Structure 1
Amino acid sequence: MSNNITVSVIIPAHNEERYVVRCINSVNRAAERVKCGVEIIVVCNRCTDRTAELAVANGAIVAMDESRCIAAVRNTGISAARGRVIVTIDCDNRMTENTFREILGMLNSGKYIGGGAPIRFERYSFPIRVNEILCRLGFKLTGLYCGIFWAEKSTFDAVGGFAKKKAGEDITTAMNIRRYGKKEGKKYGCLKNNHLINSTRKFDDMGDWLYIRLAFRNAGSLIKAAFGDSSDYDRLIDEMFYDYNDK
């Protein structure tokens, strides 16, 4: 692997000492399959555990961001990146071995502005399978694949980075990249031979029907948010994401 940095991997992390090493290891395995330099940037967000220490010990660069906004955390990593290509992955997830080879091949073809990756869960049950089917259906209908985001850094700069939203930033960012790609005569794509290995830790902690149960239980909050009152929805997002790993 060359010292010439081509790919920068951005990993946002809030108290992820249980998962950061296995995520970095999956990135390193993918990096071994390409002949260019790959740097790993772990963006520690309000961490009070050993996430930063473990990241450095396993060869990653650590950046800090105290925002309660995942988009801002990812953008901090992109700002620090030296690579031509940006790849993002959440800290509790993993990538498959030929992820970078496929991403670079698609970008170098000149046909793609960037894209996402299919999602596969690390274990399955009937409700988790239902959750995956709903995810696949949503991706298929919209074409806005998320999970692992990949694009050239210049593309992220052109669209203003990740959309500065507390939730739903992934879909909005995918839309922005696709819209920019149309202007450039390129498509928003999805990896075909590699995928994101999605963590099931929240299912493990709170039950495999978690998200379906939350959707029914919080239907009123979702409807209120659709009409402009996001106070209850924001509290739910804090509980499920921004405060989930608080020590």
Structure 2
Amino acid sequence: MKSISVIIPAHNEEKYVARCIRSIKAAVKYYGGQVEIIVVCNRCTDRTAEIAEKHGAKVISNGDRCIAKVRNAGIINATGDIIVTIDCDNRMTKGTLKEIAFLLDTGKYIGGGAPIRFERYSVPLYLNDLLCRVSFAVTGLYCGIFWAEKSTFQAIGGFVEKKAMEDAATAKLLKAYGKRKGKKYTVLHKNVLINSTRKYDDMGDWLYLKLMLCNIGIFIRAALGDKRGLDKLLDKLFYDYNG
């Protein structure tokens, strides 16, 4: 059985890191093989590292304001044959690691993502869920949990180091690399990513629609090349968010 490294980027995630690790450990029991859990503490000032170590994770530090670089730092320190990434406030279902190992072992797949299901639902969250399903089905660029052999990530240079939309860019790169190798980029069929609703709980379930409407000028300027406003918005939503 191939060994697996699970990479968890974390910025002040003391409220969520334990439950994320517990979900991984449940998947480890179901898998039965060797699995290491690596928490990449990104500018953490709370007890994230302490809690992660208490729950048996390997902890490394990173200071980049770029989620792709944070994930890449974890990959560099990983010893597993297979790399799996999951955000710290999310959870995996118990068959996730077993299914990933099985799909890679068939030799048909270069890697893939996972279906996303919210941990609770409302009308706007159902709409978000539908939008995700449609966009994934149309593009085939499945995200959520990322998984592939470590050698594959090394071959493509790791995650595309963009401050936003790095997930779609990396999925596109993996898909293209797989095509050259005669393999498909796919999605888990029996397991899902349980997606946190923390930001919706904090800022309302219509959060992203409101952001689009209230910041349309920022998005237009970013499309024209001025990304200063967008960078500030991304920092607020992701890189400095402690909700």
Q: TM-score, normalised by structure 2?
A: 0.98
Report the number of matched residues.
243
* 1:234 aligned to which of 228, 231, 236: 231
Map 1:114-153; keep pairs closer than 5 Å: 114-153=111-150
Pair 184,160 (structure 1): closer, same or farther in 2 beyond 3 Å: same
Query: What's the offset of the Cα at 1:227?
Result: 1.9
Matched residue, 1:18: 15
Give the letter aligned to residue 61 of structure 2.
M
Letter in 2 for 1:202: K
Where does residue 98 of structure 2 map in the other structure? 101
1:143 deviation in Å? 0.4
- Partner-residue secondary structure (3-state), 1:32: helix
1:52 matched to 2:49? The reply is: yes
8 Å Cα contact 2:2/2:82 also seen in 1: no
Distance apart, 1:25 and its partner CA: 0.1
2:130 is the alignment partner of 1:166: no
Q: Does 1:219 align with 2:229?
A: no
Higher mean alpha-carbon deviation, 208-217 vs 112-121, is at 208-217
Deviation at 1:5, TM superposition (A): 6.9
**Whole-angstrom CA distance in 2 between matches of 1:205 and 1:145:** 26
Q: Deviations over 1:173-225 (max 9, x none)?
A: 00111111011000000001100000000000000000111111112211221
Counterpart residue type for residue 37 of structure 1: Q
Contact 2:112–2:171 under 8 Å retained in 1 = yes
Corresponding residue of 2:32: 35
Percent pairwise identity: 62
Residue number in structure 2 paired with 1:202: 199
Kindly state the Cα deviation for residue 7 of structure 1 after the two structures are TM-superposed: 0.3
Q: Could you tell me how far apart the structure 2 residues matched to 1:177 and 1:145 are?
A: 11
Unaligned runs of 5+ in 2: none
Aligned: 1:180 with 2:177: yes
Gaps of 5+ in 1: none
CA spacing shift, 1:33–1:20, aligned 2, 3 Å: same
CA contact (8 A) 2:40 2:73 kept: yes
Shift of 1:137: 1.2
Q: CA RMSD in A?
A: 1.1
Counterpart selection for 2:109 from 105, 109, 112: 112
Between 228-237 and 148-157, report the one with greater CA deviation: 228-237
